[in-house]
Structure 1
Amino acid sequence: MKKIMRKAYLLPLLTIFCTVHLFSQQIVLRKGEIIENLPVNDTTQNTYSLYLPKDFTKDKKWPLLLLADMEGNDKKVISMFLNAAEEEGYVLAAPKLYDSISLTNKMVLIGNTIQRVGDMLPIHTDRIYTGGEDSSGRFATLAPVLLNGVNGSLAIGASLANSELINVKKPFHFVGIISKENYNYPYMLTDSKLLDRLKFPNQVLIYDGNGEWPSTAYIRKGLQLFTLDAMGRKWIPKDTMYVENAYNEDLEKVNQLIGIGDFLWAEQYMTEMMSMYGALKNTDSLRSVQRDLRRDKEYRVMQRAENAAFLQESILKEDYQYYMEDDMYTHNFNNLGWWNYQMGEIGKFIASAKPFERQMGHRLRGYVNALAEDSITLVLAEEVVDEDALAFLYMLKTILDPEDTEYYFKIISLSAKNDDFGTSLFYLEELLKKGYKDREKIYSLEDTALLRITPEFNEVVSKYLEDARYDIKIEDN
C-alpha cells in the first residue's frame, strides 16, 4: 500500500473545503454531520460516508476508525459509532460494502478509502483502526492482518475472522465488545488468550444484555483503549488528566461489580485494566486487589460453575453441528421432533435461576440459529441447489426461531413450487396462528400462484384474517 499523503483546507465554523479535484468538483465537508456518497477515486463508482467531529481542526492529526457494514449501510454504521467518536475525537469513515463483493475487492476498497481519507485530512498514520459488528466486525479484524498501516480493530459481538492468518511480526491491537449471552463470547475469550500468548495488545469488554447493541459508553471505552495505547507507545503525548479520569472510571466499574457480587466480571475487568494502564501508571495496588479476589471462596465457586457451563456448552455444540449436517444431507425430516425437544431444553437453560446456565442457554440458541443460517447459505451457493436440504433447513428455522416470519414464507413458497401444497398450508396456518396479519404479503408470495386460488388456501386465510381474497366455489355438473 502506498504511503498515505495528507492535505486539508479548513474554514471557520462548520465547513471544511477540501480542494481535492474529484470528477472536476469541489467537495464540501461539514463537521458534525455524516457526509454521504463521497467518491473513493476518480475511476470507479465506489463511495464512502465520512464523519468529522464538531471540534475538527487541521492543526492536529486525528485518529481514523474505518467502519465496515456488509449490507451497504455505511451511513447507518457511522451513526451507531458517532456519539462515541465525538466524545473521543475520532474521524469515522465507511465505504459502501456488500457481502456479495469478493474478499479481495472488499479489502482493496477498505485500503482505497483509507488512502482517500488520508489524502484529504490530517490523519495520524499510526492511529488507523477498523471496526464493525457481528459478521462485519469479523471482516474488520482482517484489515490489520492484510493491510499495511492499520494498527487495530474494534469488533462488537464478533471474534477474529481467521487466527491462522495472524503474523507475529505484524502485531495489532484488538478490542472486543461482547455480551456473555452472545454465542461468540467463548470464541472471543479463546482469541484473547491466543493474542496474549503472541503478546498482541488486546482487551475484551463485557456488557449486560442479550446481544443487542451495547451502550455508547462501551464503544467510547473501546476507542479510549486505542487512545491509551497510543499514549503508552508515545505516538501521542501522555495526557495525565485523561489517563487519571479513565482509570478512576474503570476503578469505579470494578467496585460496582464487586459490590453486586459479580466477582468473575470484576476480576476479568481488572486484568484488562492492567493491560490498559501498565505503560502509563503503577497498577500494583490493583494487582493486589485482584490477587485477593482470586483467593476468595465465592470467586472460586463462580469460576467452577462458569467452567462447567463452558464444558457442557462445548459438548452440546458438537452434537448440534453433527446432527444438523447429517439431517441436512440425509433430508431427515423425521428428526425435526428431536430439534423441537432440544429447543425446549435450551429454553429450560434460559429460564434457569443459575446465571451461568442462563447465559449458556442464550448462547446455545444463538449458536444453533447461526449454524442453520450458515448451512442455508452453503446450500444456496451450490451450483445445483439441493431443495430437499433447503426445505429441511427452512423448517428447522421455524423451530429454532419461531418468531422469525421470513422462514415460514420461504418454506411456503418452496413447497408450493414443488406442488407440496399440504406442507405449504401447514406452515401458512402456523404463521397465521402467531397473529400474522399482512394479507397482501401472503397473497404475493413467490411461486404460490396456483396455491393461492385453491379453496384450502383461502379457507385458512379466512379462518384467521376473516376475509380471503378469493371466494372459491365448486359446483357439481
Structure 2
Amino acid sequence: MKKNLLVLLACLIVQMGLGQQLVLKKGKIIDSLKINDSIPDTFSLYLPRKFETETNWPLLLVIDLDKKEKETVSWFVRAAEKEGYIMAAVDINDSLSLTKNMIKTGQVLERVSQILPIQKTRIYVAGKESAGRYASLTPLFLNVINGVISIGSSIPNTEVLNLKRPFHFIGIVGKNNYAYKDLLATEKVLNRIKFPNQLLVFDENNEAPNGPLIHKALQIFTLRAMGKKEIPKDSLYIKDAYAKDIQKVNALRSKQNMLLAEQYLGEMLSIYGVHKNLDSLRQILKEVRKSKTFKTMRRAENTSFFKESLLKDEYAYDIEEDIRTHNFNNLGWWNYQMTELDKYINGSSVLEKQLGNRLKGFVNALAEDNIELVQSDAIIDEDALAFLYMLKTITEPDNFDFYMNIIALSAKNEDFGTSLFYLEEALKAGFKDIDRLYSLENTALLRINPKFNALISKYLKGARYKIIEE
C-alpha cells in the first residue's frame, strides 16, 4: 500500500480530452507525446519532482533541430529542478518554412497550457546555436513568449524587434565560440534601445551548454518576475543569489580574470537594480575598470578582435569566390589556413587560443551555411557542393559525414578516383562503419570496384566483395 501511494505521488494523471488520460511521471523526461490526434507531430515533457497541480508553474520550451529532443532537454533538467520550471521540447524541421515551424511551436505551447497549470506571464523558449536563433524569433510570432535563452547564437536581426512588446533575451556564450563577438554587439544594441537582456560569458572551450549558466539564466527570469510582481518577492532567495554572484566576482578577481569580472558585474547591475541598492557594486566595478590588469587585458582583447575581423572578412570573401569559380586548387590554401589557426589554438596565449577557436568555428559555420544555400537552389550546383564538402573535411576532419557526402557525390558523377581518395582519407582518420559505406547513395558501381574493397580490407578487414587480382 505504501509503495502504491509513493507511485501515485510521483505521477500526475491528466485528462487529454475525449475521456483519454495520460500518466506523467515527475522527475523524468517523457517523450513522444502527441500534440493532438489530428497530426502525427509529438513533443517531450519534464515535470520537476516538486510539481503539484495547485500552483501555476513557469514553462521553458526547449527547441531541438537535431532530432534529439531527450538529449536536448537533459541539458536543462538540473536547472529546471533547482528553479522549479516545467519543460517541454519541440523538434523543429529546418527543411520546413519558418511559418510552419512557428505553427507547430505554438501548438505545443497551447497543448502544454491545456493539460498543465502554466503561469501565462512566465513562458520562455531556449535553444543552442541554430535552435537559439530560431528561439530568438519566436516572440515575434507568438505573443505568449516572455523570454529567450540563446546559447551560442545572437538575435538574427535586431531591427525587427518590437519595442512595444519587449521580451527578455539572455545569451550564453563561451569566449572560444565564434558567436562571442556577435553577442557582444547584440548586447550593445539591446542596451541602447533599453531591451531587457543579459549576456552570460564563460572561458572554457565547452561544446555543450554551460550548466551553471543555464541555471543562472532561469534564476534571472525568476528574479525579473519578482521585480515585476508577477510572483511574490522572496527576500531570502534574492539575498542568496546575490551573495553567490558576489562570490563568483571575487573568485574571478582573485584569478586576475578582470575581463570576466567586469562583464559579470555589469550584468549584476541590470539583474539586481530593481531589488536593492547597488552603490557598493558600482564601486567594485569602478575599481575593476581602473586596475592596470583590466586595462592591459582589454587592450589585448581589442587587438585580438581587430585581427579576428580582418581574417573573417578575408575568409568570407575567399569562400564566396572559391564557390563561384569552383576553385578546387584553393583547397591547399584553406588547409594552410587551418594549420595557422591550429598554431593559435596550441599556443601559450589564452587570447590567441580563443581567437583560433573562434575563427575555426566561423569557417565551419560559413561552409555549412553555404552548403545549405547551394542545396536550396532549384538546380543544385554540384561542383560548388563538392568543393564545400571537401572544404569541410579540412576544417572539421573528425566529422565523417562530409567524407561520406563527397564519396557519394563523386560516385554519382562516376568520378571514382575522388571517391576512393576520400574513402581512404576517412579510413585513415578512423572511420569504421562498414554498413554505412556499403549503403551510401549512388555508390552501387563504386562498391563493386576492386580498389574500393581493397581499401576496406586494408583498414577494416571486412570487404563484402571478392578482390580479384589480375
TM exceeds 0.5? yes
Name the counterpart of 1:89. Answer: 84
Distance 1:454 1:12, change over 3 A: closer
Aligned positions of 1:358-369 closer than 5 A = 358-369=353-364
1:58 partner SS: coil
The amino acid of 2:11's aligned partner reads T
Name the counterpart of 2:313. Answer: 318
Q: Provide the alpha-carbon RMSD of the alignment.
A: 1.8
Name the counterpart of 1:382. Answer: 377
Show CA shifts across 1:41-96 (max 9, x none).
34333322221111112222211111111233333322221111011000111234
Name the counterpart of 2:17. Answer: 21
Name the counterpart of 1:8. Answer: none
The amino acid of 1:69's aligned partner reads D
Count matched residues.
Answer: 464
Distance 1:157 1:455, change over 3 A: same
**Whole-Å Cα distance in 2 between the matches of residues 136 and 263 of structure 1?**
31
TM-score, length-scaled by structure 2:
0.94
Does the CA contact (< 8 Å) of 1:339 and 1:396 recur in 2?
Answer: yes
Name the counterpart of 1:210. Answer: 205
Show CA shifts across 1:3-38 (max 9, x none).
xxxxxxxx961232223415x412222222223333
Name the counterpart of 1:103. Answer: 98
1:173 Cα shift? 0.6
Distance 1:465 1:14, change over 3 A: closer
Name the counterpart of 2:453. Answer: 458
Does the CA contact (< 8 Å) of 1:142 and 1:162 recur in 2?
Answer: no
Distance 1:437 1:150, change over 3 A: closer
TM-score, length-scaled by structure 1:
0.93
**Whole-Å Cα distance in 2 between the matches of residues 397 and 134 of structure 1?**
18
1:419 maps to which of 411, 414, 419: 414
**Whole-Å Cα distance in 1 between the matches of residues 188 and 53 of structure 2?**
40
Name the counterpart of 1:149. Answer: 144
Question: Bigger CA drift: 345-354 or 252-261?
Answer: 345-354
2:347 maps to which of 352, 358, 366: 352
1:450 Cα shift? 2.0
Name the counterpart of 1:264. Answer: 259
1:203 Cα shift? 0.9
1:245 maps to which of 230, 233, 240: 240
**Whole-Å Cα distance in 2 between the matches of residues 292 and 372 of structure 1?**
43
Determine what percentage of the aligned residue pairs are the same residue: 52
**Structure 2 unaligned residues grouped into runs of 5+:** 1-6
**Whole-Å Cα distance in 2 between the matches of residues 84 and 186 of structure 1?**
26
**Whole-Å Cα distance in 1 between the matches of residues 42 and 443 of structure 2?**
39
1:79 partner SS: helix
Runs of 4+ in structure 1 over 4 Å off: none
Name the counterpart of 2:3. Answer: none
1:256 partner SS: helix
**Whole-Å Cα distance in 1 between the matches of residues 332 and 165 of structure 2?**
49
Name the counterpart of 2:444. Answer: 449
1:68 partner SS: strand
**Whole-Å Cα distance in 2 between the matches of residues 98 and 338 of structure 1?**
35
Question: Bigger CA drift: 69-78 or 457-466?
Answer: 457-466
Show CA shifts across 1:150-205 (max 9, x none).
11001111111332220111111111111111111111111111111111111111
1:346 partner SS: helix
**Whole-Å Cα distance in 2 between the matches of residues 142 and 466 of structure 1?**
50
Question: Bigger CA drift: 390-399 or 430-439?
Answer: 430-439
**Whole-Å Cα distance in 2 between the matches of residues 158 and 44 of structure 1?**
31
**Whole-Å Cα distance in 2 between the matches of residues 450 and 109 of structure 1?**
42
Question: Bigger CA drift: 384-393 or 403-412?
Answer: 403-412
1:46 partner SS: strand
Distance 1:42 1:460, change over 3 A: closer
1:474 Cα shift? 5.7
Aligned positions of 1:48-63 closer than 5 A = 48-63=43-58
Does the CA contact (< 8 Å) of 1:33 and 1:52 recur in 2?
Answer: yes
Name the counterpart of 1:304. Answer: 299
Pairing 1:232–2:227 present: yes
Name the counterpart of 2:39. Answer: 44
